[in-house]
Amino acid sequence: MGDNSTTPLTELGEFGLIDHLMKDVEIKDKSTIFGSGDDAAVINNGIYQTLISTDMLVEGVHFDITYSPLKHLGYKAVVVNLSDIAAMNGMPKQVTISLAISSRYTVEALDELYKGIKLACETYGVDLVGGDTTTSRYGLVISVAVIGQVMADNIVYRSGAKENDLICVSGTLGAAYAGLMVLEREKKAFKASKGVQPDLQGYEYILERQLKPEPRLDVIKALQQLNVKPTAMIDISDGLASEILHICENSDTGADIIEEKLPIDHQTGKIAEEMKLDPTTIAMNGGEDYELLFTISQSDYDKIKDNPAFAVVGYIKERNAGVNLIARDQSVNPIKAQGWDALLNKRL
C-alpha cells in the first residue's frame, strides 16, 4: 500500500504553493526570458520586452462588498495589476478582465463595476482588450491580466540588490491597512446598531488608500527623468516586511530597515493610537499600499535626496547579517513576513 497522507494547502501558504506547483516547469521557448518568481513574466520582443502579470480578487477574501463600492472595486482591480508592471520598471499597455458572477449581481451592478474599470484604463492610458465571463455560485471573482512594456536595458528584477545599496520606498506605508481597520470598525458598529451611520470623517486619506489605490507609474517616470535605474524593485502589496524579504531572498543579501525612517502619515498614526496598535507594525505588515520598494546604488543618492516622493529607509547588507529592523532604541529585530497570505486568508 502506498502512502495515503495528504498535505493541506495551508501548510505551504500562497507563495509556497506557487513555488511547489512551478518547481518542475521548464522554460523551452527562447522568447521566454523570465517566468514565475517576480512581479511579472518577461517575454523577449527585441529592443522591448513584454511584461505579463495576472491577479484575482475574490469576494470574501480580497474584498468585502459591504463597504467596497463597485466602481471603486473595478478601479482597484485594474490598478493593483498595473502596479506589478511598474515594479518591473515598465509601463502597462493592455488589460483583460474576466469575471465569475453570482446570480445576486444585476446588469446595473456590473455596469457600475465597469465604470471603475474603464476609468482606471482611461486614467493610465491602458486599453481594455477582452476577457471572459462565467457563473459563480458564491459571490464575485475578478481576474485581471495586464500586458506591459519595457526597454530591454531598463528592466528591473527583484534579484539585483547589492551590498551597500540604499533601500527606498515611495509614498507612505500602512495607510491602506489603517483604512481597512476603520472600515471594519464601522461595519461592526453598523451591525451592532442598525441604522447607525458610519463615522468616516477625518480618515479620507487612509480610506482612499484602501478603496482606491493608485499605481506608482509616476515614480517610474520620475526615476527615468532623474536617470536613476533601481538595482532591484518590487511593489508593496503584502507589506514592507514581506517584500524586503523577497528582495533579499532573490538577491542573496541581508538588509537593515531603520524604524525612524519609515514614512507614516498622520491619519495612520491616529488610527493606530485609537486602536492601541504600533504604527511601525502597521507600516511593516499592513499591505495593499501599492507603493514601490526599490534599491539604488549609493552613487545615485544625490539624484533623489531632495525628492519628496522617496524615502531612504535602510541599507542592503551581506547575507549573513540577516534581514533586520533597527528600532528607535537601536535594538536589532529580525524581520519576519507578517503580511497577508491570500491562500491562508490571514496574516502570516
- Within-domain flag for 160: no
Picking from 132, 153, 174, the residue at the C-terminal end of a domain is 153
- Within-domain flag for 62: yes
Task: Quick: pLDDT tens for 198-248.
Answer: 778 889 999 999 999 999 999 999 999 999 999 999 999 999 999 999 999
Shared domain check, 257 and 218: yes
Strands (E), 86-140: 91-101, 127-135
Query: Which domain CATH number covers 75?
Result: 3.30.1330.10
Shared domain check, 117 and 89: yes
Shared domain check, 137 and 180: no
Which among 121, 118, 141, 125 is positioned nearest to 62, based on CA atoms? 141
- Within-domain flag for 24: no
Contact 323, 248 (CB under 8 A): yes
Shared domain check, 85 and 50: yes
Task: Quick: pLDDT tens for 149-169.
Answer: 999 999 999 999 999 999 999
Per the listing, cell 477582452 goes with 130
Query: Which domain CATH number covers 220?
Result: 3.90.650.10
Answer yes or no: is pLDDT of 144 > 60: yes
- Within-domain flag for 111: yes
| Those residues with Cβ within 8 angstroms of residue 77's Cβ, 6 or more apart along the chain or in another chain | 57, 97, 116, 117, 120, 142, 144
- Within-domain flag for 98: yes
Shared domain check, 330 and 205: yes
Q: How far apart are CA 294 and CA 297, in angstroms?
A: 10
Domain range enclosing 332: 166-347
- Within-domain flag for 131: yes
Shared domain check, 302 and 239: yes
C-alpha cell at 140: 464575485
Shared domain check, 117 and 96: yes
Q: How far apart are CA 72 and CA 138, in angstroms?
A: 21
DSSP letter at 124 equals T
Q: How far apart are CA 236 and CA 244, in angstroms?
A: 9
pLDDT computed for residue 35 by the predictor: 57
Mean pLDDT of 13-40: 57
Q: How far apart are CA 285 and CA 292, in angstroms?
A: 15
Q: How far apart are CA 258 and CA 263, in angstroms?
A: 11
The whole model's pTM is what? Answer: 0.86
| Those residues with Cβ within 8 angstroms of residue 261's Cβ, 6 or more apart along the chain or in another chain | 311, 312, 313, 314
Shared domain check, 115 and 177: no
| Those residues with Cβ within 8 angstroms of residue 106's Cβ, 6 or more apart along the chain or in another chain | none
Task: Quick: pLDDT tens for 249-304.
Answer: 999 999 999 999 999 999 999 999 999 999 999 999 999 999 999 999 999 999 99
Picking from 108, 127, 153, the residue at the C-terminal end of a domain is 153
pLDDT computed for residue 6 by the predictor: 78
β-sheet with 48-58: strand ranges across: 32-34, 41-45, 48-58, 141-151, 91-101, 127-135
Q: How far apart are CA 265 and CA 267, in angstroms?
A: 6
Task: Quick: pLDDT tens for 305-333.
Answer: 999 999 999 999 999 999 999 999 999 99
